[in-house]
A and B are shown apart, each in its own frame.
Chain A
Amino acid sequence: MASGQQWVLVEMVQAFYEAPAYHLILEGILILWIIRLLFSKTYKLQDSSDLTEKEIEEIIEEWQPEPLVPRMSKEKPAPSYNIVSGPPCHKITVNGKQCINFASFNFLGLLDNDRVKNQALQSLRKYGVGTCGPRGFYGTFDVHLELEDRLAKFMRTEESIIYSYGFATIASAIPAYSKRGDIVFVDEAACFSIQKGLQASRSHIKYFKHNDMEDLERILKQQELEDQKNPRKARVTRRFIVVEGLYMNTGAICPLPELVKLKYKYKVRIFLEESLSFGVLGQHGRGVTEHFGVNIDDIDLISANMENSLASVGGFCCGRSFVIDHQRLSGQGYCFSASLPPMLASAAIEALNIMEEDQDIFRLLRDKCKHIHKELQGILGLKVVGESISPAFHLQLEQSSGSRESDVRILNRIVEYCMDRKIALTQAHYLEKEEKFLPPPSIRVVVTVEQTEEELEMAANLIKEAAQNILQ
């Protein structure tokens, strides 16, 4: 039939009369078959099982589930927590022993600061403790808006958004932008909250070796070649690089200028996790972007938690409004969870005030880090892992004793040795079965601005002594 030919009713009726009988009968049967299929009951294949009622009952009787939680064996009882009595600040009482705190991430010493406490108290007297609702339903307080404003101004970005839990910050931010089918390039040493965010996003994850820009470039090139094979798909696939400013697991700093170069070369967006570097690196404490002098607009999203330098609770993301505003409707930890208690937000604002007033603490902190880093070099049996200006670094065994368990036991003995002699340390704990790339066991040493030179010396000497006694 020529296209554009129009069926006229008369012609249709004519064709009907002209068709041979068998043709009409066949069509009639087909129509009846279609009607039958439309009205017949649909059934799933499973239902056509030929088990009798009695057999079903028996199967249900016989089935035994696994116990809800696996039985803990008697030889390896669950390790118990350290109990801290009193405030966890510079002088801390752990398990009844008074020690100097080298384990809490209290970098700027703001946990015990009177101004912060008083501000929180004032806020408590005005707002009570809880917010009784998520941000969308009368859970937005003026202190939240003020804190978001202040953080955006401090970091020199357009907008910021607060979360009520540090872990949930990056774990909600990543799935808000990266969906199924998108590609994320992430460092192997990324912390657990990033891994959970990636898992929730259901995107393709490609790991590159820790801090190895050549490896990253290699897989970016690979991806580029694949894109050329399927350009239509490539045009809608979003690409992200997720890195940390200062890595929690290794104490290394990411090479941000090279990353920015790679960003523009291969058209990938950068998400930067600055939990450890916010309030630590940079001349004014603005983090790794200030440390390297990178334009902050080049980073698409900066996420950090307020539980380290700001000594409060919660987290924030900052960046351009174009990027951040999206999380107000699609960040799961923001929309479906109660907002941050106002007293904690006030405490964070006051901590920010202190950070802005006293510009010198950052340099002071870095000097102390360098000092203890130098002191701890050359201990037989232990090696220092981390940058010299990183306030949270690791001490790993130079030679593993064979199994992870025995390594952990040895490090535990060192930790206990130090705890008995007034230095509180801790091992870096991981969920061994859940981590993608399990870091080796280590002791995490944290430097804070409140520690004096004598205390740093004492700690260094004690660790050397412990290593000598236990590892030799």
Chain B
Amino acid sequence: NSSHICHNGGIYKRPFKESFEETPMLVAVLTYMGYGILTLFGYLRDFLREWKIEKCHNATEREEQKDFVPLYQDFENFYTRNLYMRIRDSWNRPICSVPGAKFDILERVSYDYNWTFKYTGRIVNDVINMGSYNYLGFAENSGVCADAAAEMTLKYGVGVCSTRREIGNLDKHEELEKLVAKFLGVEASMAFGMGFATNSMNIPALVGKGCLILSDELNHASLVLGARLSGATIRVFKHNNMQSLEKLLKDAIVHGQPRTHRPWKKILILVEGIYSMEGSIVHLPDIIALKKKYKAYLYLDEAHSIGALGPTGRGVVEYFGLDPRDVDIMMGTFTKSFGAAGGYIGGTKELVDYLRTHSHSAVYATSMSPPVVEQIITSMKCIMGEDGTTLGQERVQQLAENTRYFRRKLQEMGFIIYGNDDSPVVPMMLYMPAKIGAFGREMLKRNIGVVVVGFPATPIIESRARFCVSAAHTKEMLDTALNVINEVGDLLQLKYSRHRLVPLLDRPFDETTYEENED
């Protein structure tokens, strides 16, 4: 069991409790067996399809191009054809309403085992949304934010048709960037149209050949792509493991570049605020201490943690009570907590001035759409309290309460939950491949929409369901969802945890509570 509470000489000002319970041995064996059987059946079906005994539903190459080199190798798509296809209906579910606390799903059926879908035309109404990244509940189609965005649509239009460097830099963009800088507590910031592209286009602008990137094992695809495109050397340290990181830093400075032993030009540490597949929060105080000792630079990707952590929603830096100036590059996205789209980078004025001339996005990519910018401005002002109400503050607190309540209840029921107690991303382990599909379907039958994830986003035996708690969820909705999860958990035998928590009596939750673990 690797649950621990971290204090580390007082640099953690509050208890930092996270747990990643080990996979039970029997479950691991059964999971491998499950995948083994599926693989055998996969080979059998491929064989039948090859010999035309079974109808092949795959789209095929054109007749005129049959003698070209095949576009896809058969083994590359083995997993897709034989495993993913069976449970494909758990993903890409189309919705037709606001992705708020409840949403409407378009019903679809398949008569050929998920190869093609047909829409029945029926809409499943009021499904509780446990899948969208709507942490502060700003995904709304009415209210202050929506009104402001509507006004902006009529005034400015929807597109921009030019890049920031040329003639697409609107006054609204400048206003947004000043506001983001104020929100984060940094000198200046710059906003981009896509969160993914923010990473993949700006990391190459900051580091290049001769630099070293130390990246966490479980970093997001955009960080990995940005690191690869930069041309720097990449070394991976174990997830959230400070000893591994320190060892790499020491080795890097003492031994320099491989073979030539020249000193590295820069060392950049890439971490995320909340890792969305694990629900873990980065050990930021430790990393900042290391960074200062070894003179490295820190790039913090707060895609999931901005707005979701911290007493006023300022992210993981505020959550630990640290100084934003210690983080060299603060990056985040507007998609999750602000209900819009896009990304930003904040830091010193020098950094932002440099990015304004050297970022790929500023010179070649179209700038952000005005209504989206307005949505961000309004929601950010709401969170900061600048619109004159306490609505933002209430939402941040509601999210924290909902998170703690939800996690606590799930742990009491006996599910294995990964991650930090304060993270609104709640991964619940499923392990077996059949349960991935079954869980998604059973939950939808009972009107709850959940997200299930399997290989290759997670290690092969650690498939999970991932719940995203939102400030828009009321206690009734959470209770409904918890009851349904309990029911489905019993039905599918998902209660693997061996560390049952004694349920707390009717005490309000506060920081000084300590629980007893029953082993």
Interface residues of A (CB under 8 A from B): 46, 49, 51, 56, 59-60, 63-66, 68-72, 78-79, 81-89, 92, 94, 101, 103-106, 110-112, 116-117, 120-121, 124-133, 135-142, 144-145, 164-168, 177, 191-193, 196, 199-200, 234-239, 264, 267-269, 297, 305, 307-308, 310-313, 320-323, 325-326, 328-329, 332-333, 335-338, 340-341, 343-344, 347, 424, 426-427, 429-431, 434, 444
Q: Is there an interface contact between A307 and B159, defined as CB atoms closer than 8 Å?
A: yes
Q: Is there an interface contact between A336 and B253, defined as CB atoms closer than 8 Å?
A: no
| Residues A131 and B99 in contact in the complex (CB < 8 Å), given A63-B295, A69-B350, A307-B159 | yes
Q: Report the minimum CB–CB distance from B331 to chain A (whole Å).
A: 14
Q: Is there an interface contact between A56 and B254, defined as CB atoms closer than 8 Å?
A: yes
A449 to B95, CA, bound (A): 37
A329 to B72, CA, bound (A): 13
A397 to B263, CA, bound (A): 44
Query: Which residue from A68, A132, A326 sits with its C-beta under 8 Å from B266?
Result: A68
Q: What residues of A have a CB within 8 angstroms of the CB of B140 in the complex?
A: 128
Query: Which residue from B146, B250, B354 sits with its C-beta under 8 Å from A125?
Result: B146
Output the nearest chain A residue to B366 by Cβ-Cβ distance: A307
Q: Is there an interface contact between B142 and A125, defined as CB atoms closer than 8 Å?
A: yes
A103 to B162, CA, bound (A): 8
Output the nearest chain A residue to B72 by Cβ-Cβ distance: A326
Q: Does B438 contact A (CB under 8 A)?
A: no
Q: Is there an interface contact between A124 and B267, defined as CB atoms closer than 8 Å?
A: no
- Of the candidate stretches B3-11, B315-323, B333-341, the one touching chain A is B333-341
Total B residues in contact with A, Cβ cutoff 8 Å:
122
Q: Is there an interface contact between B221 and A138, defined as CB atoms closer than 8 Å?
A: no
Query: Which residue from B133, B254, B369 sits with its C-beta under 8 Å from A344?
Result: B369
Q: Is there an interface contact between A127 and B131, defined as CB atoms closer than 8 Å?
A: no
A307 to B265, CA, bound (A): 38
Q: Is there an interface contact between B64 and A84, defined as CB atoms closer than 8 Å?
A: no
Q: Is there an interface contact between B99 and A429, defined as CB atoms closer than 8 Å?
A: no
Q: Is there an interface contact between A125 and B169, defined as CB atoms closer than 8 Å?
A: no
Q: Report the minimum CB–CB distance from A190 to chain B (whole Å).
A: 12
Q: Is there an interface contact between A320 and B62, defined as CB atoms closer than 8 Å?
A: yes
Q: Is there an interface contact between A165 and B194, defined as CB atoms closer than 8 Å?
A: yes
Q: Does B120 contact A (CB under 8 A)?
A: no
Q: Report the minimum CB–CB distance from A317 to chain B (whole Å).
A: 14
Q: Is there an interface contact between B341 and A131, defined as CB atoms closer than 8 Å?
A: yes
Query: Which residue from A120, A121, A133, A430 sits with its C-beta under 8 Å from B133?
Result: A133
A429 to B168, CA, bound (A): 13
- Of the candidate stretches B13-21, B149-157, B400-408, B482-490, the one touching chain A is B149-157
Q: What residues of B have a CB within 8 angstroms of the CB of A336 in the complex?
A: 196, 220-222
| Residues A145 and B139 in contact in the complex (CB < 8 Å), given A111-B161, A125-B150, A341-B369 | no
Q: Is there an interface contact between B150 and A124, defined as CB atoms closer than 8 Å?
A: yes
Q: Report the minimum CB–CB distance from B322 to chain A (whole Å).
A: 19
Ranked nearest first, the 3 interchain pairs of A and B with the lowest CB-CB distance are A165-B194, A69-B354, A337-B196
A153 to B142, CA, bound (A): 33
Q: Report the minimum CB–CB distance from A418 to chain B (whole Å).
A: 13
Q: Is there an interface contact between A71 and B341, defined as CB atoms closer than 8 Å?
A: no
Q: Is there an interface contact between A343 and B153, defined as CB atoms closer than 8 Å?
A: yes
> Which residues of chain B from 118 to 149 have any CB-CB distance to chain A below 8 Å in the complex?
129, 131-134, 138-142, 145-146, 149
Q: What residues of B have a CB within 8 angstroms of the CB of A130 in the complex?
A: 99, 138-139, 334-335, 338-341, 372, 375
Q: Is there an interface contact between B165 and A135, defined as CB atoms closer than 8 Å?
A: no
| Residues A94 and B167 in contact in the complex (CB < 8 Å), given A78-B356, A117-B157, A136-B91 | yes
Q: What residues of B have a CB within 8 angstroms of the CB of A92 in the complex?
A: 167
Most buried by B among A78, A167, A168, A430: A167
What would be 29 A-B contacts, judged by CB atoms less than 8 Å apart?
A46-B251, A60-B254, A78-B354, A84-B169, A85-B171, A88-B161, A103-B166, A106-B161, A116-B157, A117-B154, A117-B157, A124-B149, A126-B97, A128-B141, A130-B338, A132-B132, A132-B133, A138-B103, A168-B196, A196-B360, A238-B70, A269-B65, A297-B62, A313-B368, A338-B133, A338-B341, A341-B372, A343-B158, A431-B360
Q: Does B228 contact A (CB under 8 A)?
A: yes
A103 to B164, CA, bound (A): 12
Q: What residues of B have a CB within 8 angstroms of the CB of A267 in the complex?
A: 67-69
| Residues A344 and B158 in contact in the complex (CB < 8 Å), given A88-B168, A431-B358 | yes
Q: Is there an interface contact between B253 and A311, defined as CB atoms closer than 8 Å?
A: no
Q: Report the minimum CB–CB distance from B409 to chain A (whole Å).
A: 23
Q: Does B288 contact A (CB under 8 A)?
A: no
Q: Is there an interface contact between A132 and B139, defined as CB atoms closer than 8 Å?
A: yes
Q: Report the minimum CB–CB distance from B256 to chain A (whole Å).
A: 9
Q: Does B255 contact A (CB under 8 A)?
A: yes
Q: Is there an interface contact between A193 and B266, defined as CB atoms closer than 8 Å?
A: no
Q: Report the minimum CB–CB distance from B439 to chain A (whole Å).
A: 14
Q: Is there an interface contact between A105 and B69, defined as CB atoms closer than 8 Å?
A: no
Q: Is there an interface contact between B265 and A66, defined as CB atoms closer than 8 Å?
A: yes
Q: What residues of B have a CB within 8 angstroms of the CB of A199 in the complex?
A: 229
Q: Is there an interface contact between A117 and B161, defined as CB atoms closer than 8 Å?
A: no
A460 to B203, CA, bound (A): 42
Q: What residues of A have a CB within 8 angstroms of the CB of B375 in the complex?
A: 129-130
Output the nearest chain B residue to A326 by Cβ-Cβ distance: B72
A332 to B195, CA, bound (A): 12
Q: Is there an interface contact between B229 and A313, defined as CB atoms closer than 8 Å?
A: no
Q: Is there an interface contact between A135 and B92, defined as CB atoms closer than 8 Å?
A: yes
Q: What residues of B have a CB within 8 angstroms of the CB of A124 in the complex?
A: 141, 146, 149-150, 153, 371
| Residues A429 and B163 in contact in the complex (CB < 8 Å), given A84-B168, A132-B134, A137-B131 | yes
Q: Report the minimum CB–CB distance from B140 to chain A (whole Å).
A: 5
Q: Report the minimum CB–CB distance from A359 to chain B (whole Å).
A: 22
Output the nearest chain B residue to A346 by Cβ-Cβ distance: B158
A193 to B201, CA, bound (A): 10
> Which residues of chain B from 257 to 315 have any CB-CB distance to chain A below 8 Å in the complex?
263-267, 293-297
Q: What residues of A have a CB within 8 angstroms of the CB of B167 in the complex?
A: 82, 84, 88, 92, 94, 101, 103-104, 424, 426
Q: What residues of A have a CB within 8 angstroms of the CB of B357 in the complex?
A: 78-79
Q: What residues of B have a CB within 8 angstroms of the CB of A79 in the complex?
A: 357
| Residues A138 and B161 in contact in the complex (CB < 8 Å), given A92-B167, A426-B167 | no
Q: Is there an interface contact between B96 and A63, defined as CB atoms closer than 8 Å?
A: no
Q: Is there an interface contact between A341 and B295, defined as CB atoms closer than 8 Å?
A: no
Q: What residues of A have a CB within 8 angstroms of the CB of B201 in the complex?
A: 167, 196
Output the nearest chain A residue to B131 by Cβ-Cβ distance: A138
Q: Report the minimum CB–CB distance from B230 to chain A (whole Å).
A: 10
| Residues A68 and B351 in contact in the complex (CB < 8 Å), given A92-B167, A337-B195 | yes
A325 to B255, CA, bound (A): 47
Most buried by A among B140, B228, B253: B253
Q: Report the minimum CB–CB distance from A209 to chain B (whole Å).
A: 23
| Residues A128 and B154 in contact in the complex (CB < 8 Å), given A51-B254, A138-B129, A168-B197 | no
Q: What residues of A have a CB within 8 angstroms of the CB of B80 in the complex?
A: 329
Q: Is there an interface contact between A60 and B253, defined as CB atoms closer than 8 Å?
A: yes
Q: Is there an interface contact between B267 and A65, defined as CB atoms closer than 8 Å?
A: yes
A431 to B208, CA, bound (A): 15
Q: What residues of B have a CB within 8 angstroms of the CB of A135 in the complex?
A: 92
Q: Does B61 contact A (CB under 8 A)?
A: yes
A174 to B274, CA, bound (A): 30
Q: Report the minimum CB–CB distance from A159 to chain B (whole Å).
A: 9
A129 to B158, CA, bound (A): 12
Q: Report the minimum CB–CB distance from B355 to chain A (whole Å).
A: 8
Q: What residues of B have a CB within 8 angstroms of the CB of A341 in the complex?
A: 340-341, 369, 372
Q: Is there an interface contact between A126 and B98, defined as CB atoms closer than 8 Å?
A: yes
Q: What residues of B have a CB within 8 angstroms of the CB of A127 in the complex?
A: 97-99, 141
Output the nearest chain B residue to A70 by Cβ-Cβ distance: B354
Q: Report the minimum CB–CB distance from B363 to chain A (whole Å).
A: 5
A431 to B362, CA, bound (A): 10
